[in-house]
Amino acid sequence: MGVVAETALNMSGNITGVAPGFLHEKEVCHNGLTDMYIVDNMFERKELLMKLSDAFAILPGGIGTMDEFFEVFTALQLETIHKPVGILNVNGYYDHLIGMLQNMVNEKFLRKEHFNALVIESDPDEFHRRLMSHKPEKVNSWVDELRKTNQF
């Protein structure tokens, strides 16, 4: 996150940070951001990030990135957000994650329409272009689908 923020700032970009107080107290937050919000905990952080963001770009990262990705992807699936979500699959970093999601579709634990709502690209320029122009389509809810087949 720091490298992305620093690069954007060096190119006259605006960067908004959201951090829980315990990290801010440990001085692990970037001090030169355009805006900084301090919240009580990680749950509030994700909630505010979802509110403030126009789109979600999942870059190579660790377990925190996965936590945030699944929170946002779930919100997209549940239609509590209607914003583009994309995975930048640099050098195949997310091949296994993408394969797992495809397996979830095959095993009917994830609807294909929800998987297809993700922007997945390996080229950064194409990723940016697609993410910025992407409008997630409305997907009939799984409850409505079950009602149609009298399974609910």
- Distance in angstroms (rounded) separating the CA atoms of residues 128 and 15: 17
Looking at this protein, which amino acid is placed at residue 28?
V
> For residue 134, is pLDDT > 80?
yes
Catalogue all structural domains in the chain, each as residue range(s) with its CATH number.
1-52 (no CATH), 54-135 (3.40.50.450)
Lowest mean pLDDT among 12-21, 61-70, 86-95, 118-127: 12-21
Contact 56, 84 (CB under 8 A): yes
Per the model's pLDDT, the better-predicted residue between 133 and 26 turns out to be: 133
> For residue 143, is pLDDT > 80?
no
Q: What is the pLDDT of residues 111-132, one digit of tens each?
A: 999 999 999 999 999 999 999 9
Whether this model's pTM surpasses 0.95: no
| 58 pLDDT tier (thresholds 50, 70, 90) | very high
Contacts 24+ apart (CB under 8 A), 46-54: 46/71, 46/72, 48/18, 49/18, 50/75, 50/81, 50/83, 52/16, 52/18, 53/83, 54/83, 54/84
Beta bridge partners of 36: 17
